[in-house]
Structure 1
Amino acid sequence: MLRRSLAILPFAAPGLLPRAVGAQSAPFPSRPVRIVVPFAAGGTADVLARLVGERLSAKWGQQVIIDNRPGAGGNIGAEQVARAPGDGYTLLLGTIGIHAASSIYSKLPYNPDTDLAPVTVLAEMPNAIIVHPSVPARTLRELIELARQRPGGLTFGSAGSGSSTHMAGELFMQVAGVRMVHAPYRGSAAALNDLVAGSIQVMFENVPTVPPLAQAGNVRVLAVTSAEPVSALPDAPPATQAGLPDYVATAWMTLAAPSIVPVPLLQRLNTDTVAVLNEPAIQQRLTQLGALKRGLSVEESRRFFAEETQKWTRVIQTADIRVN
């Protein structure tokens, strides 16, 4: 286990500072900042981390390094951040799987509820229900009927157990009353590769990575999982209008820090990140990706985590999902 230490900041509360450290230090950030993306490069989390990281780097005048650490549904990278020093130089691109669906695991070597603190909720986005072109379903209703005719005959891939793409699939099966086989991957990019190759048949993928694949004819988009249409996929109807009126499943991405980061520094990280999200160019890019900018405060993010945890815990319990 890494030894934790708190960097002295000019605005940090004295009671939060270790006595062994001297009284002088450079203002934050005085060296590169690392954002750990707990999934492989190429997925939505990676795309968003690089977008935000580039603008934070320009704002801070320091390099922001994107560090992909995939594995265990995002928990390998998340644990590294949870165990990192509380100096603000190691941050996490978090997801539903880390912050709201951790009950899927019978045991974890860290506690995401107490070892990680939200900086902000960056963005929320629907998923796209996509299939390999060989699947004989051209609408969502046809996919549901096909899955009913072939219980367990279709396989849906995800970014990992407990990820938003997994949870969207589980909720879909519960609402539609169908059964498919779940295939977890080490990130969406690997799952998409197998979907394009035809090794799996279905995915509930975050919208930002889907348009290029759809335009190339590599996948067929049947619907989006929001209540409203998505500009990035204008021909895809919302699932609520395409056969599942009670099915809404949005994904969301966060910026998080070790919970031992002092409150003033956490607030500084929030202020700077929200300022970046409010830049017109960033908002335009998020819209192009099919994502909705959030930029919540620290306290709003905590409440959001609690509400989403309740929602997805119910899905996990209903499906009796457990990962050892």
Structure 2
Amino acid sequence: MKILSKTLVPLALLATAVGAHAQDFPASGKTITIVVPFAAGGPTDRVARDLAEAMRKPMGGATIVVDNAAGAGGSIGANKVAKAQADGYTLLLHHIGMATMPTLVRNIPFKVETDFEYVGLVNDVPMTVISKPTLPAGNYRELVAWINQNKGKINLGNAGVGSASHLCGMLFQQAMSVDMTAVPYKGTGPAMTDLIGGQIDLMCDQTTNTTGQIEAKKVKAFAVTSTKRLTTPALKDLPTMQEMGVKDFSVSIFHGLYAPKGTPAPVLKRLNDAMQAALKDPDFIKKQEGLGAVVVTDNRMQPAGHKAFVAAEIAKWSPVIKAAGVYVD
């Protein structure tokens, strides 16, 4: 009995410490940092800042800041969180890169599936298939006919290797069974400028980057990659790819919240509860709608649903990336 009690005492003390830590989380005066693995000012950075603001109140007024750690296709910032102390004070807000990094980034220093705790999915940002304004097609079916008539002569722009527009473009080519000349740019800005100017023919990019250009009629829009039509005024008349007969074509640049592996379960629950409260905040929803994003309301806002979704996305994108033979060092 004496040996048993000596074994149980440390375990009891550990359980009490973990419980107390979770109960006190976040501790007064301690800052929660959300790491964004991309530069400030981009769509992911904006989502993170909106989320941080919306989570402050349900976290008891805690200070939540955003830290931009860009580079290597988003893996530098992700690795920073994977190696951080597992106490709930360092989090990661990442997009579809969590599903593409395992295949896209060479020598990745962590495992997406096992080195993180999944807190929950935040939003979906659909993509749009757009073209230069002078392209002689007025709807999606006419676009397909034009593509088939111009095989070997089509330029497809993107914001750089591994970018959302690059990934969507690869999937689009695969769906069309047509090889197009990929034209990578250093960001969406210059790619969009050349599309508007007619230097490239097509692009598949996030609604956060295309809605304004579509509304201003600077580019032509043919379809959205969501499973349902969007309600945004400039996009509401666009059909989905699946409506147009492209089976299982669904691409969204989702954003999810992650913590280092080993973060205590009660702390993760506290974070998830606060995140779910943020996702129901009218101001947060309005801000996301302004970006063309759809706030998650299904089981993916729960850790298990989030993790299962990312696993399915890894399986979806891995063969596409391997077939294209593109990598980030």
TM-score bracket for this pair, using the shorter chain length: 0.7 to 0.9
Contact in 2 for aligned 1:71/1:186 (Cα 8 Å): no
Query: For 1:106 and 1:200, how far apart are their aligned partners in 2?
Result: 29
Q: Which moved more, 1:110-119 or 1:177-186?
A: 177-186
Amino acid at match of 1:247: F
* 1:151 counterpart = 2:152: yes
* 1:53 counterpart = 2:55: no
- After the TM superposition, which residues 61-140 of structure 1 pair with which residues of structure 2 at under 5 Å, given as runs? 61-140=61-140
What is the TM-score normalised by the length of structure 1?
0.80
Cα deviation per residue 1:193-219 (whole Å; 9 max; x = unaligned)? 564566654332222332222223333
What is the TM-score normalised by the length of structure 2?
0.79
Match of 2:314 in 1: 309
Match of 2:281 in 1: 279
Task: Report how far residue 177 of structure 1 moved.
Answer: 1.0
2:269 to 257, 260, 267: 267
Query: For 2:230 and 2:49, how far apart are their aligned partners in 1?
Result: 22
Query: For 2:138 and 2:179, how far apart are their aligned partners in 1?
Result: 19
Task: Report how far residue 97 of structure 1 moved.
Answer: 1.8
Task: Report how far residue 241 of structure 1 moved.
Answer: 3.0
- Aligned CA distance change for structure 1 residues 100 and 63 (closer, same or farther; 3 Å): same
- After the TM superposition, which residues 11-26 of structure 1 pair with which residues of structure 2 at under 5 Å, given as runs? 14=14
Q: Which moved more, 1:263-272 or 1:28-37?
A: 28-37
Q: RMSD in angstroms over aligned alpha carbons?
A: 3.3
- Aligned CA distance change for structure 1 residues 87 and 193 (closer, same or farther; 3 Å): farther
Give structure 2 stretches of 5+ with no counterpart.
1-12
Query: For 1:186 and 1:98, how far apart are their aligned partners in 2?
Result: 21
Task: Report how far residue 108 of structure 1 moved.
Answer: 1.2
* 1:207 counterpart = 2:225: no
- Aligned CA distance change for structure 1 residues 226 and 26 (closer, same or farther; 3 Å): closer
Amino acid at match of 1:123: N
Query: For 1:63 and 1:113, how far apart are their aligned partners in 2?
Result: 29
1:171 partner SS: helix
How many residues align? The count is 308
1:93 partner SS: strand
Query: For 1:105 and 1:16, how far apart are their aligned partners in 2?
Result: 41
Cα deviation per residue 1:91-139 (whole Å; 9 max; x = unaligned)? 2111222235521233212222222221111112321112332444443
Task: Report how far residue 289 of structure 1 moved.
Answer: 3.9
Query: For 2:215 and 2:260, how far apart are their aligned partners in 1?
Result: 40
Task: Report how far residue 74 of structure 1 moved.
Answer: 1.5
Contact in 2 for aligned 1:160/1:186 (Cα 8 Å): no
Give structure 1 stretches of 5+ with no counterpart.
1-12
Amino acid at match of 1:28: P
Query: For 2:273 and 2:120, how far apart are their aligned partners in 1?
Result: 9
Cα deviation per residue 1:287-310 (whole Å; 9 max; x = unaligned)? 454433226211221222222222
